[in-house]
Structure formats: structure tokens, C-alpha cells
Amino acid sequence: MTTLATKKTARKAEKAEAAVGKIRLATAWLGGCSGCHMSFLDLDEKLIDLAETVELVYSPIADVKEFPHNVDVTLVEGAVANVDHLELAEKIRQRSKLVVSFGDCAVTGNVTSLRNKFPVEDLLTRVYHEGPGAVPRGGETDKIVPALIPRVLPLHQVIEVDAFIPGCPPDPERIWAAVSALLAGEPVVLTEKMRMFG
Amino acid sequence: MAVITMTINDELVSGVEGQSLLTLIREQGIELPTLCHLEGLEARGGCRLCLVEVQSTHRLLPACTTTAQEGMAIQTHSERLVRYRRMILELLFAERNHVCAVCVMNGRCELQDEAAKIGMDHVRYDYLVPELPLDASHDKFIIDHNRCILCTRCVSVCDSVEGAHTWDVMGRGVNSRVITDLNQPWGVSRSCTSCGKCVQVCPTGALANKGSTVAEMVKRHDFLQWILDGREKKQWVMQNGGSEGRR
């Protein structure tokens, strides 16, 4: 008798088998606007090619709660702006072979770091506490929203980074140039135009 | 003018006595980055990007302010020079708040371009994040000190071409800042003629037209040589007392 459960297990096993030999790719979203991920989706039909060679094991566009182990390549969008980002960045580094700063916020801090001129307390007061209604304090103790760190940092100032894809956002051509090199096990070499910030 | 011979990157080349190394190097089709230098303005040797190795001295010399001399042997792109140039660019990015994505000059900035050319894909130094003002008191232009790299092209063009000397520099080292008049708001400057030459020669988004937003600012340098030619070659002087002068 084939139960639903065994069917499910069989499907899972099939999936696992298909994933064997595939490159385990992850993408993460720290302090950024998600524009880099949008640009990643703009790879359009190349995503189909990509899906044949990689298994997307963690991403804002995949429903995975915990950052997995044994990841081959992780693209990190966004700067490190709060304690959750710090924690995830550490985890990403420990569990990924290659970590890539993906887009200007991860590479330089960019727009996310514009708040660095202001003390965190002033920032929260001006943006939230002076406004209408009750808002969480954003302190580490309240466990509601992650506390902001004093200064937004580019990813490479928090963990070791293996490659950089500048751009706000990096256009799909740059992303493809970098990702296809990484998947082929080659170093990321971007042309002059592809290295441009902004 | 006497002809001189020397070697650049082990190639024998000839130039004219009195020529700057930068001119001679560029004449050979070798690209040497510069940010403070602009054809038509006095060479200053400020940005240090055009530093070259000269065999007779241990010091690195800025090509823009060094005169080419008979028998010189220079290197323009040794591993050390390229490394230093990248460091200089990274330090410029770290020193003030250059956020390309939200800059009026995004896509046309000389600093952004040089960084991409040299392969600077990130900055290894801590960003200083200085608290710097933006002066929008002038009717037509703004000065955003966050983007200024202290190349002093504005100071030079205002003094030597416009003749107003509205711009100057105050402070020392990392605290230096370009100022109008005696550090008065630009809008109340009595010496400023609002000619806009400073805006046109500025390599970054520090000086821009008021009202321009992200990536909207376009600058042109061609006016400079045109004015200087007119002035120095007397192209604007009417000849034979008639109306034959170049318009």
C-alpha cells in the first residue's frame, strides 16, 4: 500500500538524487532594498540554465528558514546594519565555501550607510519615536526588532569576502559574468564597465 | 626647441625640452590617471595618481609637475605604482562620503571612472564618515563637500581663467575644505561672478547645478581650451581693424 507519506518520501529522495552533483547556491538579503535580487531575477531565461547547474538552498525567494550547511556559493545583498545581520553574516561565512558581496550596499555600505552620520538613538527618535503610535524601541532587550549597530558596515569589514560585484544594482550582465565564473570555479574578473560603483 | 630622448617603460621615446612628463607619457598613448590635472590649468601634483618611478631617484615623482629631461628612464605602471594608485583612490573614497548611487555625477564622475579603471572593486579602509555640509545658498549652483576630493581645480580656474579668486582652501590635511570668499556662504560671495567654470571643471559631484538630481549632471571641459586659445593666441582680437575676428 502506498501512502501519501511514502509518496512524499519517494519524491524527496528523487529530489535529493537530482540535487547530487549540483552546486549549492544561496543568496541572502541584509540591509539593502532587494534591488540586487530584482536584478538577479532579471537574468530571465538564464535562470533556467542556472537551475540546471545549481540548487538554490537559501534565498529570500525560496522558503528556507535556516541558513543551511555546506553551501558552495553565497551572494550577499545589503550592508550589515543590525545584530541579526551580524549573526547571519557569521553563519554564512562558516557555512559557505565562497562568499560574494553582491551590490554596492554589501560592497561599500552605500545608501544603507547614509545613516552613519547620526547616532542610532537620534535616528530612531526622529524616524519612529517622535511619530504617531507606539513603536518598539529597537533595543536588543525587547526581542521584537533587531537592534541597530552603531555604524552600518560593508560586508568585508565583518566577515572575509571572496569576491565583489559592485553596482546599484549590478546589472544582470555583471551578475551573470560573476556567477558563471564562480560556478565554473574560476576567479571573478569583471570588465572595467562592470566594476563601476553606482 | 631642443629634442630630448629618454625611455618610458623601457621604450626609447623622444620629446621636446620643457615638456612635462605627463604630456610626454600621454603622447606615447600611455594612459596615466589624473584627478587634479586638467589641460589648461596649472599643474599642481596634488592627487598623486600620476606618480611615476624615475630611475635616478628613489622618490616617486608626479608626472604632471616634473619636466621631461634628456636621458631619464621612467616606469609608469610598475606593480608598486598600480598598488599605490589603488590605495590613493580607496583613501579618497574612505575620506568623505562618496555614495555613487545617489550622486548627481553617477556615471560621469572622474573619481568613479578611475576607480573602475584601476580595478578597485571595494575599499579596504574604514570609512571616516565625516560630518560635512552642503551649501545651496547660491542661486545657480551647489557645493557638496561630501563629494569633494580637494583637487582644487575650482580654485585654479576661478583664479587663473575667470580672475575672480572666489575659491580657496582652508584648514589642513583631512580637515581641509574649499571655501568661497573668506568662508562665507557661496550665495553672499561678492567676488563670485556666477560664471560656473568651477562647476564645469569639478571632477566629481562636489560642484553641481542647483536642482540636478541623481546622475543628471553633465559637465563640459571644452570651454577652457577655447577661452585660453582665444586669450593666448589672440584669436579674439579683431584684425585689420575690421570685423574679421573669430567669433
Between A35-39, A132-136, B219-223, the lowest mean confidence (pLDDT) is in A132-136
Q: What residues of B are in contact with residue A113 (Cβ under 8 Å)? A: 99, 127, 129
pTM, 2 dp = 0.91
Q: What residues of A are in contact with residue B129 (Cβ under 8 Å)? A: 113, 116-117, 151
Q: What is the pLDDT of residues B47-67, one digit of tens each?
A: 999 999 999 999 999 999 999
Give how far B4 is from chain A: nearest CA, Å: 35
Q: What pLDDT was estimated at residue A11? A: 67
CATH class label, A22-113+151-191: alpha beta
Q: Evaluate whether B245 touches B237 at the Cβ level (below 8 Å).
A: yes
Low-confidence ranges of chain B (pLDDT < 70): 239-247
Q: Return the closest-CA partner of residue B85 out of B53, B55, B56.
A: B53
Binary contact (B129, A161; C-beta < 8 A):
no
* 3-state helix vs strand vs coil in chain A, percent to 5: 45, 20, 35
On average, the pLDDT of chain A sits at 90
Residue ranges covered by each domain of chain A: 22-113+151-191
Q: What pLDDT was estimated at residue A3? A: 62
Q: What pLDDT was estimated at residue B185? A: 98
Structural domains in chain B plus CATH codes: 3-77 (3.10.20.740), 83-229 (3.30.70.20)
- The dihedral through the CA atoms of A56, A57, A58, A60 has a sign that is positive
Q: What is the pLDDT of residues B212-245, one digit of tens each?
A: 999 999 999 999 999 999 999 988 877 665 554 4
Q: Return the closest-CA partner of residue B114 out of B47, B176, B172, B167.
A: B47
Q: Return the closest-CA partner of residue B95 out of B60, B49, B120, B132.
A: B132
Q: What residues of A are in contact with residue B124 (Cβ under 8 Å)? A: 156
Q: What pLDDT was estimated at residue B245? A: 47
A148 backbone dihedrals φ, ψ, rounded to 5°:
-75, 145
Give the pLDDT band of residue A121 (cuts 50, 70, 90): confident
